[in-house]
Chain A
């Protein structure tokens, strides 16, 4: 190939090819998205699409995509269109296709009953062929043929109903059964990922530009699936939780809003069982932990980054903090149970839980605050020192304000973790599983003044109370249900409430961070 053709800056006469390849990319993306939605059970695989089941429609789409992708490669190889392929698709692509084809061969061999050494040999042979087909021909064939062929095979299996609704395969060795409604989306997603990548490479005309476009599409589809998992999880909990959360919800009547799930206890006398005591307990636990951990953590971070000599001591502290952050929560819980409880009235109590969760939160606050403080430019410190301002004033008025967004991020992350912790609460706080409304901790009203030391007491802090994750755990594992009509619905409502509480704390944190960022930079 001469340099003249390789170094063409604008390739003429490719608009038709580009249009077709671009629509193949789009169709692959669509098939991928549909597969994802089907995998998350949002649509059934036998839902009717244009007269046939979704499974068969996906199969037909894959078939078309596979043939099209092979066609793109052939068109480029036969020089019908101007492309700039490299001599080989490369070892990485070849390795990836080997794994994909090997896995597919293993599964197919297993499904049709070829097992043992024969199955393995067949699978290895298939993988080897895939490697050769990818690595040895020119790039345009090497990257389209294995992808297209995979899509054609998968498409045939789905379109003919070989794999479809009602299909199942008992995996004896794993003591499990694979059903059609999992297999069909997985096949569709794998095949459409491959065709999407291959079509994107064709769109870019192979070579460096093609690889760039291919990687772009691949990354986008993967990101899409990660987002889908997140959204799917939220949707899953929300859909199941809403009936429980809004059980007996009404606007008007006595009081403005009647929301028994959030305002009632779960006692025998409540007309509709609710989670009020647990909700209050969780909120107080988180507030108490933050009140304990943020000042101490930030203070320690200020000392470590501004005052302590950077050296062995700070390194040891750093390692210790990181270790503490990854310590299992049950260990913190045991510490709380064995150390704190004897010091606070010898019974499970709200304050023991607050402190235990505070200890858990402390390392993360320390780590992130330290990073945030170290990230404040030294120029600010120099400028302040040159104005004759003392070190502490500098830290207080310049360094800490500039570090607040980073510190807030740490607190947000930590709160997300501790709000859902069950083990420490189980050991330090957990009171009744189905507390009545009167069992809710009223911390603010609980303060009492007395004339003798310690002058201020709060019996509410010294009492065991319930918390959302603890109640959820107790409901599910112990199967206690009291007078709750529908324990399952109640449990899902509880899970959704917990999720919303955590999100509410997030929202507060993010709003704080946004406020301080704006203040710093505008």
Chain B
């Protein structure tokens, strides 16, 4: 402990003793290099976010602003809380019963953790792509149109046809647009009725991205989207992410520092213990980080 303390002190990591509501006192570290104003309007503003899984304090007082229409990379070693942080941004952690979340996350100046927030609406605006490709066991077309259909934006099928409100053409258009945006259209346009599980891993992941785009989100969260893929599929996904950043706010968790350096505009470094240690322009983080710990991590000495 003393060793770490010394390092922290040398880093300029101010230590404070904070009393919690339970009356006990804990030592808490306050990273100094996270006050970073990215260029552009903040899409998501996170303030003092704490996450507990039961007794496990997974994320400690994280605050950061995520600017719109850019790629923000979250890097750090396994178990540092970066995926937890990502899942807080569209309240996917609500699905874990033992999770307790404190702090605020504002999407366009509206706190998503207030009572009465419509989770359906929130997740329509903040979409998510998972680590391993998880298409539904349905046809490619049905995978894409699943979201809009469930939101009542597309009516197809017998009843719709009988009522004369068949949106089959709209569906075709939506499927085509989503697949084109996800750079998958040329590969699958002739077999939209085939089962999505028959696609390769990289294609499945792009299908998942297309499925996410089909509900027209503003923010896309990606949890290590390329970690289960081969290098060629990875590079396709990376190109796609850069393309998407022109229209969407992309937040991507990655294990690969090279990947973060290649695709992101700003990078947040989480280190063991669930703290955000440094958040800055990607170039700055990789070339001249302020924190000694971040430099150690990036140069491979730690983590």
- Interface 9-mer from B60-68, B75-83, B124-132: B124-132
Within 8 A of A (CB), among B86-132: 90, 92, 95, 97, 119-124, 127-128, 130, 132
10 contacts between A and B (CB under 8 A): A309-B97, A384-B146, A385-B92, A385-B123, A386-B128, A388-B120, A388-B122, A389-B150, A389-B151, A398-B136
* B127 and A389 form a contact (CB under 8 A): no
* B137 and A402 form a contact (CB under 8 A): yes
Contact of B120 among A382, A389, A401, A402 (CB under 8 A): A389
Find the A residue at minimum CB distance from B151.
Answer: A388
* A380 and B123 form a contact (CB under 8 A): no
- Complex Cα spacing A41 to B215, Å: 68
- Residue B198 at the A interface, CB < 8 A? yes
* B136 and A386 form a contact (CB under 8 A): no
- Residue A13 at the B interface, CB < 8 A? no
* B208 and A388 form a contact (CB under 8 A): no
- Residue B211 at the A interface, CB < 8 A? yes
- Complex Cα spacing A387 to B124, Å: 6
* B120 and A521 form a contact (CB under 8 A): no
A residues contacting B by CB (< 8 A) are 309, 377, 379-390, 393, 397-398, 401-402, 519-522
7 cross-chain pairs, A with B, having the tightest CB-CB distances, nearest first: A388-B123, A379-B134, A386-B128, A387-B147, A388-B124, A520-B137, A389-B150
Contact of A388 among B119, B135, B136, B194 (CB under 8 A): B119
CB distance from B181 to the nearest CB of A (A): 16
CB distance from A508 to the nearest CB of B (A): 23
Which of chain A's residues have a CB closer than 8 A to the CB of B119?
A: 388
- Complex Cα spacing A383 to B214, Å: 13
- Complex Cα spacing A398 to B97, Å: 22
Beyond contacts A309-B97, A386-B212, A387-B215: 11 other A-B pairs, Cβ-Cβ < 8 A, are A379-B132, A382-B130, A382-B134, A386-B92, A386-B128, A386-B130, A387-B127, A388-B215, A389-B146, A397-B146, A401-B138
- Complex Cα spacing A401 to B143, Å: 14
- Complex Cα spacing A309 to B212, Å: 29
- Complex Cα spacing A398 to B120, Å: 17
* B121 and A383 form a contact (CB under 8 A): no
- Complex Cα spacing A385 to B147, Å: 10
Contact of A387 among B97, B123, B194, B198 (CB under 8 A): B123
- Complex Cα spacing A386 to B131, Å: 13
- Residue B188 at the A interface, CB < 8 A? no
Which of chain A's residues have a CB closer than 8 A to the CB of B197?
A: 520-521
Which of chain A's residues have a CB closer than 8 A to the CB of B128?
A: 386
CB distance from B202 to the nearest CB of A (A): 17
Within 8 A of A (CB), among B202-261: 208, 211-212, 215
Contact of A383 among B150, B198, B208 (CB under 8 A): B208
CB distance from B207 to the nearest CB of A (A): 11
* B198 and A380 form a contact (CB under 8 A): no
Which of chain B's residues have a CB closer than 8 A to the CB of A384?
A: 136, 146
Q: Which of B132, B146, B208 lies at the interface centre, i.e. has the most chain A CB atoms within 10 A of its CB?
A: B146
CB-CB under 8 A for A521 and B92, given A377-B134, A388-B151: no
Which of chain A's residues have a CB closer than 8 A to the CB of B132?
A: 379
- Complex Cα spacing A397 to B146, Å: 9
- Complex Cα spacing A454 to B178, Å: 53
* B95 and A382 form a contact (CB under 8 A): yes
- Residue B195 at the A interface, CB < 8 A? yes
Contact of B150 among A309, A379, A397, A519 (CB under 8 A): A397
Find the B residue at minimum CB distance from A380.
Answer: B136
How many residue pairs between the two chains, A and B, have CB atoms under 8 Å in the bound complex?
73
Which of chain A's residues have a CB closer than 8 A to the CB of B147?
A: 387-389
* A382 and B92 form a contact (CB under 8 A): yes
- Complex Cα spacing A402 to B138, Å: 9
Q: Which of A309, A382, A401 lies at the interface centre, i.e. has the most chain B CB atoms within 10 A of its CB?
A: A382
Which of chain B's residues have a CB closer than 8 A to the CB of A397?
A: 146, 150
* A521 and B134 form a contact (CB under 8 A): no
CB distance from A398 to the nearest CB of B (A): 6
- Complex Cα spacing A382 to B121, Å: 16
Contact of B134 among A380, A401, A402 (CB under 8 A): A380
CB distance from A129 to the nearest CB of B (A): 61
CB distance from A85 to the nearest CB of B (A): 48
Find the A residue at minimum CB distance from B215.
Answer: A387
Contact of A521 among B121, B130, B195 (CB under 8 A): B195
- Complex Cα spacing A101 to B227, Å: 61
Which of chain A's residues have a CB closer than 8 A to the CB of B138?
A: 401
* B146 and A387 form a contact (CB under 8 A): yes
- Complex Cα spacing A383 to B215, Å: 13
Q: Which of B134, B135, B197 lies at the interface centre, i.e. has the most chain A CB atoms within 10 A of its CB?
A: B134
- Complex Cα spacing A384 to B146, Å: 9
- Complex Cα spacing A386 to B86, Å: 12
Which of chain A's residues have a CB closer than 8 A to the CB of B195?
A: 519-522
Which of chain B's residues have a CB closer than 8 A to the CB of A522?
A: 194-195, 198
Which of chain A's residues have a CB closer than 8 A to the CB of B151?
A: 388-389
* B95 and A385 form a contact (CB under 8 A): yes
Which of chain A's residues have a CB closer than 8 A to the CB of B97?
A: 309
CB-CB under 8 A for A393 and B150, given A382-B92, A383-B208, A520-B195: yes
Find the A residue at minimum CB distance from B135.
Answer: A383
- Complex Cα spacing A386 to B150, Å: 13
Which of chain A's residues have a CB closer than 8 A to the CB of B215?
A: 387-388
Find the B residue at minimum CB distance from A518.
Answer: B195
Find the A residue at minimum CB distance from B214.
Answer: A387
- Complex Cα spacing A393 to B195, Å: 21
Which of chain A's residues have a CB closer than 8 A to the CB of B212?
A: 386-387
Q: Which of A377, A397, A401 lies at the interface centre, i.e. has the most chain B CB atoms within 10 A of its CB?
A: A397
Q: Which of A384, A386, A387, A389 lies at the interface centre, i.e. has the most chain B CB atoms within 10 A of its CB?
A: A386
CB distance from B34 to the nearest CB of A (A): 27
- Complex Cα spacing A381 to B195, Å: 18
- Complex Cα spacing A479 to B257, Å: 85
CB distance from B69 to the nearest CB of A (A): 21
* A386 and B120 form a contact (CB under 8 A): no
Which of chain B's residues have a CB closer than 8 A to the CB of A383?
A: 130, 134-136, 208, 211
Which of chain A's residues have a CB closer than 8 A to the CB of B136?
A: 380, 383-384, 398
* A386 and B146 form a contact (CB under 8 A): no
Contact of B137 among A388, A390, A521 (CB under 8 A): A521
- Complex Cα spacing A308 to B98, Å: 15
Which of chain B's residues have a CB closer than 8 A to the CB of A389?
A: 120, 146-147, 150-151
- Complex Cα spacing A389 to B194, Å: 23
Find the A residue at minimum CB distance from B127.
Answer: A386
- Complex Cα spacing A75 to B149, Å: 76
- Complex Cα spacing A380 to B197, Å: 12
- Complex Cα spacing A380 to B90, Å: 17
CB distance from B92 to the nearest CB of A (A): 6
CB distance from A416 to the nearest CB of B (A): 28
CB distance from A396 to the nearest CB of B (A): 9
Find the B residue at minimum CB distance from A402.
Answer: B137
* A387 and B211 form a contact (CB under 8 A): yes
* B150 and A387 form a contact (CB under 8 A): yes
CB distance from A174 to the nearest CB of B (A): 58
Which of chain A's residues have a CB closer than 8 A to the CB of B124?
A: 387-388
Q: Which of A381, A384, A389, A520 lies at the interface centre, i.e. has the most chain B CB atoms within 10 A of its CB?
A: A389
- Complex Cα spacing A386 to B120, Å: 9
Find the A residue at minimum CB distance from B119.
Answer: A388
Which of chain A's residues have a CB closer than 8 A to the CB of B121?
A: 388
